[in-house]
Structure 1
Amino acid sequence: MRVSAIQAAEATIHTAIELIVARYADIDRAEAKRFVLQQFEFMNADPNAVISAERIVQRYEAAIARRNAADSGIREKVAKLIFRGLSERPPHQSLQYFELQHAFQVATGGSLSKYAEDVVTIVDELQEKGYIRLATPGHRMPLIFQGIDFDEWSSKMKANKETSHSVTYNVTGDNARINHHSTDMSTNLVAEGDGIKEHLVALRRAIEATQLSGSDRQSALDVVEAVDAQFASGAPKKSIVTALLGALPKVADVATIAGTVIALVK
């Protein structure tokens, strides 16, 4: 008997929910269902996404890793892209999901549909503040408009930009440091000469070069993104970085580079 697209979708959703509940005994089934439906909707709107129950579970695991790492970097990037997109058009014109998706891919090289939970969270926060307004036409993804307090958001973004460019510190050399407004009780900003970014780029390349399956390779790359966010926060926690990198496959150059990155965390 031929299976319809609707039946296939329902089967995928059901299987993903059961897998998550089976692997994570402490999760509430309603929460698992909410996450799976959310992911399915975003993946279905992404023409490049391959939908399967296992891939949805992998995205749940990646979301848990980012949550445990207190990673707010993706949400900040999404908020910035929403602001930029709305600022470039009149108030009556909406920002559509595929436009946001394209902007994210151009800016980061990654797929926005992987971060469905983060997108929903930041969109809800922006709507609650009145910065944006959502409209949902039928079963399509929501349209994003400027909210009633978009002008307030614009003022804050402009002030943040001016503040971030007001002072420049040039720090060079291994463990070079700045004593900022301090005497003997210094707050030190340490710059690693070894270049964390370069090591993470090398780690991504090493993972891409492995013989891992497509899903395992993507899971490993998601771990590197979570580690990258830790360093981008300016205060990476060694315990979190170690736990994340410890989950990577012990193959080829991956383990060596991961060990180097861990050693660089102070």
Structure 2
Amino acid sequence: MCRWLAYRGEPLQPSLLILDAQHSLVAQSLNSPLGAETVNGDGFGLGWYPADAEAGGIPAVFRSIEPAWYDQNLREISRAVRSPLFFGHVRAAGGPPIQQSNCHPFRYENWLFMHNGFLSEFDRVKRDLTFAIDPSLYPHVRGTTDSEVLFHLALTFGLREDPVPAMERAVRLVESVGREHGVTYPMQGTMAVSDGQTLWAFRYSSQGKSRSLFHSVDIPTLREMYPDIERFRIFDDNAHVVVSEPLNDLPGSFVEVPESTVHILDAGGYHHRPFLAAA
């Protein structure tokens, strides 16, 4: 459906990952070997927390319906800003129209959210799921995607207080409503969410065959593995990235996130825990 990446570490130009990596996000928008669709040209988005902003500040968002490989503004912006935490997303529209409000990432207050996947047969469950969104949040749903509905369901269930149980409740509702409407496998995808300090990345599907998700190996380890690669000296020791698919072909540089897992990245590094593993 889509491809995405999320970075956390010392302030960095997003272009280093979005444009300049061997298999950058823009490269994946043209050729995505592990994606459900090879080409992801139905718009893109970049969301970032400014390097000079206070902790928990409001992120900036730039979204466009242009193909990522074509948009000059993406190149200008991603090279001009520096951010300690940013999201990048390229879209392959699976039904909802190609419009700016349907491009990821989505923002609410200091939170960013993006999704690769779908809520199966969304037209059959859309009404029930949309009506489950808290009335105070409903006016903030600007587009027509299942992903934005999922985000606002998680907000409804307490994302701002505790993201993991909030996402669990949102996904359980999607599955419950879907099965009431005869949908066999209601949920599919990988999701990323952040408050500007911590990154939560979820990999889950009702079928147990989720979209691909990986995280990078620690930079000090990569330098030991590949001492001759100068590029790794650009990155601080605390630089980490979570991606739909690896940004290079170097063996051992990326690790697959297991099925039914939430991958948590904070100041202490990576942490994993089960996510609806018994659902």
The verdict on a shared fold, with TM-score over 0.5 as the criterion, is: no
Q: Which of the pair is proportionally richer in strand?
A: 2
Tell me the TM-score normalized by structure 2. 0.28
Q: Which of the pair is proportionally richer in helix?
A: 1
